[in-house]
Each structure stands twice: as structure tokens, then as C-alpha cells.
């Protein structure tokens, strides 16, 4: 089957003469997986994610989603949680949901309201009145309420409390369709390790490791979190 | 919050052990239908594929079996469960012996110590009565 995401010799530079943000990356992500995108700050995680969502353009190498170059067609099947919020803060949660429903054919309104209820978020509240963590929860709910084939989540749990973190991870393992893939970047490895199938370690824009979590534990006799701390020791 | 895992071993082996333990202890009774992969994955807070792998491995030991449409069930073979329980007990003893030997006790000393502990326990019991 066609990988849901594939990088072929993908490179990206922001500035000539500077070290490239991504350097000859080759990756194949299969369907039905939950994949952690890990790496220290500046390793290229967000660059890769932005390329996959068409926020940056590919000049060198290829990035394919479901076998196609990034474009309107691929955006239809990718649900993306950016690292920064882009929502209109003047709208209420309910209005934002209506907006998403108009915008995305695959948006499941009932699922969104169900998640809002579980997290005790008032649909009538204006976004600007919500705390930072609650805004992040709303944003994640919007992203996870789509029936996408690929979810790309840039730091989905960084800003929320541990209880909400558990709820979010639970949503990720139960709510997504079996053929969909979730690619999530995070620094909180220990928190997500048990829900991941596999991890990708990025270092200086290169893939340092791409392996199943249990294979890493088996081979190294340590957790992915411990291995990360060792590999990227400062 | 999910189940608790050790940091230094694969998650699927630990899932396998914990489910095995539940079967041996009767939490999942002989012949009982197991929760679905998704339900179990949610309860343990693990990846469904990892849970699937653990269950497939358990199936190879015949402790559980799949009925095509109805789901997964615990074996009704009581002898099989008893054997498994016994094997787990032997492993515990071995671990215990190893830990005691690290403390410098010989096999004989360990047995004597256990005997002593048992007698003390019984005496306390009598006092209470």
C-alpha cells in the first residue's frame, strides 16, 4: 500500500550558507500507526510538519502524502494542529465549530461536542476568554473531530495539565480510524511512549533513528525517553 | 491513567504478563470473553497495535483463543491455567532466591529463615487468639 507520508531525499534550507533545516531526509510512514516525531529544539520537526502541510514549499527532494505532492487534494485528508493557534479569538467555541464544519467535509460535529463536554468546556464561551491550556484543548478537539487519514499534531500536549494530557492521549488511541496515521511531535516522551507504535529521532535535520518503540526497548534495554536523553545529551 | 510499566523492557511483553496474571488470578475467568483490543488498549493506555501483538502472543500459548466473530476468550482448560500459575510461582521463587543470595544467604539459611518467620507468625496468631 502507498505510504500515507513519504519523504524522498527531502532537504530544506531557510538561508543560503546556513546549515539546512532538513538534510536529505528519507522516510516512509505507514497507515494505521501512531508515530512520535522527536528531536531537540531546532532539529527540523516543525520544518518537516510545515512542509507536509504546504506552509513551506519543497525545493529539493519530494514530500508525498498518499502518493501525491502536497496540495489541495492532500490537505483534504490531513488534519493539522499547528504549534501556534490561528483561530479567531472573537468567535465563540460554537461558532468556531460551525466554521470548521463548513470548511471540512469530514468534520464530525457530534464528536466535537462530546469531547467539549468531557473536558468541561462551555461551547458558548468566546475563545479570547479561555485560558491558554483550554484554547489548546479546543484546537485539538477541532483537529481530532475530523475523519482524516493523517493527523499531524505539533506539540499537542505541551501546554495542558496532566489529566487533560491523559484524556488527549486516550482520544488519540481510541477515536481515530484504524487506517489513519497520527504523527505527533513532542518533548514529553515518557508521557506518550506507551501510545506510540514507532518513533523518529531527528538530529540536525537528519533522521537519526526510525524504529518501533518495543524494538528500541528490546535492543537497548531502556525506554525511548532514556535513549533520547542519552543520544541527545548536552 | 493506565497500567504501570517498567521502563527497561518492551511494553508488549509487559502487557502479555499482566493479562496472563489476570487469567491466573481469575480476574478473567476460564471461558470468559476478554474485552476487545480497543477496550483493553484504552484501559492500559497503550497503542492498540501493541495490545494486539500481546494478545496474539498469548494466543500462541493457548491461554486465550479467538472465536472468529465473537472475539477472544480465556481457555477453559483448567490444567493449562494451573501450569501457567505454577510456572509464574517458580519464577517468583527464583527471583526471591536470587535477591536473598545477593544479600549473602545460602539456600539452607534462606529456608531456615523462612521457617523461623513462619513460627513467629504462628506464635503471634496464638497470642491474638
The residue ranges of every structural domain in chain B are 11-76, 79-128
State residue B129's pLDDT score.
67
Select from B5, B8, B13 the Cβ nearest to the Cβ of A194: B5
Sign of torsion, CA A117 A122 A123 A128?
Answer: negative
**pLDDT tens digits, residue range B18-32?**
999 999 999 999 999
Mean pLDDT over all residues of chain A?
93
A-B contacts at Cβ under 8 angstroms: 60
Tell me whether residues B8 and A32 touch, CB distance under 8 A.
no
Which CATH architecture describes the domain B11-76?
Orthogonal Bundle (1.10)
Closest approach of A136 to chain B, Cα-based (Å)? 21
Out of A34, A196, A222, name the one closest to residue B7 (CB): A222
Residue in A33, A170, A217 closest to B10 by CB:
A217
Percent of chain B with pLDDT over 90: 85
Under-50 pLDDT residues of chain A: none
Please state, as a whole number, how many other Cβ atoms lie within 10 Å of the Cβ of residue B80.
16
What pLDDT is stored for residue B1 in this prediction? 63
What residue in A sits closest to B39 (Cα-Cα)?
A: A174
Selected residue of B41, B49, B52 to mutate for chain A interface (largest A Cβ count, 10 A): B49
CA-based nearest residue in chain B for residue A227: B8
- Per-residue CA distances from B3 to A161, A191, A194, A223, B15 (Å): 20, 13, 10, 16, 9
Contact between A179 and A32 (Cβ < 8 Å): yes
Nearest Cα to Cα of residue A2 among A67, A62, A64, A57: A67
Asked if residue A216 lies in contact with residue A199, where contact means CB atoms within 8 angstroms, the answer is: yes
Is A173 close to B5, i.e. CB distance below 8 A? Answer: no
Q: CA of A216: which chain B residue's CA is closest?
A: B10
Residues B108-129, mean pLDDT to the nearest whole number:
88
CA distances from A39 to A34, A135, A233, B50, B118 (A): 17, 25, 12, 23, 54
Using CB atoms within 10 Å of the CB of residue A68, give its burial: 0 to 12 exposed, 13 to 18 middle, 19+ buried. exposed
Query: Tell me, what's the pLDDT at A174?
Result: 81
Residues comprising chain B, all counted: 129
- Mean pLDDT score, B1-18: 91
Sign of the Cα torsion B87, B90, B96, B97 reads negative
A→B interface, C-beta within 8 Å = 32-34, 166, 169-170, 173-174, 178, 193-197, 213-215, 217-218, 221-223, 225-226
Q: What are the angstrom distances between the C-alpha of A202 and each of A60, A149, A207, B62?
A: 18, 23, 5, 41
Longest dimension (CA), chain B: 58
Q: How far apart are CA A93 and CA A91, in angstroms?
A: 7
Evaluate whether B73 touches B29 at the Cβ level (below 8 Å).
no
Q: Is residue A108 within 8 Å of residue A146, measured between CB atoms?
A: yes
What is the full DSSP assignment across B31-62? TPBPPPHHHHHHHHT--HHHHHHHHHHHHHTT
CB contact under 8 A, B49 and A223: no
> Each residue of B47-99: pLDDT tens digit?
999 999 999 999 999 999 999 888 999 999 999 999 999 999 999 999 999 99
Amino acid at each position: 500500500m502507498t505510504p500515507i507520508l513519504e519523504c524522498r531525499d527531502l532537504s530544506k534550507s531557510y538561508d543560503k550558507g546556513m546549515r539546512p533545516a532538513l538534510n536529505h531526509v528519507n522516510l516512509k510512514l505507514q497507515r494505521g500507526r501512531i508515530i512520535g516525531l522527536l528531536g531537540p529544539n531546532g532539529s527540523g520537526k516543525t520544518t518537516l510538519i510545515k512542509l507536509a502541510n504546504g506552509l513551506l514549499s519543497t525545493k529539493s527532494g519530494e514530500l508525498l502524502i498518499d502518493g501525491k505532492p502536497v496540495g489541495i487534494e492532500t490537505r483534504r485528508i490531513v488534519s493539522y494542529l499547528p504549534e501556534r493557534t490561528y483561530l479567531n479569538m472573537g468567535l465563540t467555541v460554537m461558532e468556531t465549530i460551525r466554521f470548521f464544519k463548513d470548511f471540512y467535509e469530514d468534520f464530525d460535529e457530534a464528536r466535537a461536542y462530546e469531547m467539549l463536554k468531557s473536558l468541561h468546556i462551555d461551547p458558548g464561551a468566546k475563545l479570547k476568554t479561555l485560558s491558554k491550556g483550554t484554547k489548546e484543548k479546543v484546537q485539538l478537539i477541532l483537529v481530532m473531530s475530523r475523519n482524516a487519514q493523517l493527523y499531524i499534531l505539533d506539540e499537542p500536549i505541551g501546554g495542558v495539565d496532566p489529566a487533560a494530557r491523559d484524556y488527549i492521549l486516550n482520544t488519540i488511541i481510541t477515536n481515530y480510524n484504524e487506517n489513519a496515521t497520527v504523527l505527533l511531535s513532542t518533548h514529553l516522551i515518557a508521557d506518550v511512549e506507551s501510545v506510540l507504535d514507532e518513533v523518529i529521532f531527528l538530529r540536525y535535520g537528519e533522521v537519526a533513528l526510525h524504529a518501533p518503540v518495543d524494538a528500541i526497548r528490546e535492543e537497548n534495554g531502556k525506554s525511548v525517553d532514556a535513549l533520547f536523553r542519552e543520544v541527545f545529551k548536552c | 491513567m493506565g497500567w504501570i510499566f517498567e521502563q527497561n523492557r518492551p511494553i508488549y511483553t509487559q502487557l502479555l504478563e499482566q493479562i496472563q496474571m489476570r487469567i491466573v488470578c481469575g480476574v478473567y475467568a476460564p471461558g470468559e470473553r476478554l474485552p476487545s483490543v480497543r477496550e483493553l488498549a484504552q484501559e492500559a493506555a497503550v497503542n492498540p497495535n501493541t495490545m494486539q501483538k500481546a494478545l496474539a502472543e498469548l494466543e500462541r500459548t493457548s491461554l486465550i483463543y479467538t472465536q472468529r466473530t465473537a472475539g477472544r476468550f480465556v481457555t477453559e482448560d483448567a490444567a493449562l491455567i494451573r501450569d501457567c500459575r505454577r510456572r509464574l510461582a517458580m519464577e517468583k521463587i527464583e527471583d526471591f532466591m536470587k535477591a536473598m543470595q545477593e544479600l549473602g544467604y545460602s539456600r539452607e539459611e534462606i529456608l531456615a529463615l523462612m521457617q523461623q518467620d513462619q513460627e513467629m507468625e504462628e506464635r503471634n496468631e496464638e497470642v491474638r487468639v
